[in-house]
Structure 1
């Protein structure tokens, strides 16, 4: 077995590879991982050392081979110039914590629905309705994030393609 890389120890792609190495011995080395990914070992080293940014295609391959859909989210919200502005950071959590988060985000759904109807009923959004609309949008964003977390959990734990 190869020794652990100390310089890359905090890199998400290195951590994902090491986690996956528990079920695929070939991933214990950069050489084996690079072969499976179809990229050069040196390029993988640079990615894991944060010397270069991975290409989206490489992230997709890593995600599939390492069974870590969370690195796709990481790439989109931390490294993609467009995603940095509008992709929320998600983490894979246990199903019990996830369920509580979902239920919490849905607790006010009836009042959100009623507020939205009230705001748009006349077809005009007035200045005094804007704070109420912001609340509705924030609530919908929380629901959306919880739904995305459930999707991420299902992709990782049930290997569902969603």
Structure 2
């Protein structure tokens, strides 16, 4: 608590803002390589802030739960909130993989006019796997954050 106000809503709003934004950025970068070359620093920053905010939100929520008491709606919200972290970790790993891929491919660019040989299997398979990871992590983390946020709003506003 700061000045008598709980920190949980502040951290929760950081999750609500940064996780879907990171998901959107990850999906965009996974499907559009030109965007990945430009957006990777910003998306990595947003995804890292979103990832860091999740445990802070859960911890501050547990502290707040001790003060408000347990009820069915609060327990439902806590259960959904605890499901967010694994999906945000998948999203963050996808963003890191995309950023690493951008770094590796930018360093390995051929000079204009240089002959190109056959592409190794991993140069095709790896981007597809990372794109799937970004889609799954991005969509599931956003859906879980929305579900947890909705249940939290119900817990606060339902009498």
Please report the TM-score for the alignment, with normalisation by the length of structure 2: 0.30
Q: Larger C-alpha radius of gyration, 1 or 2? A: 1
* Greater relative contact order (Cα < 8 A, sep 6+): 2
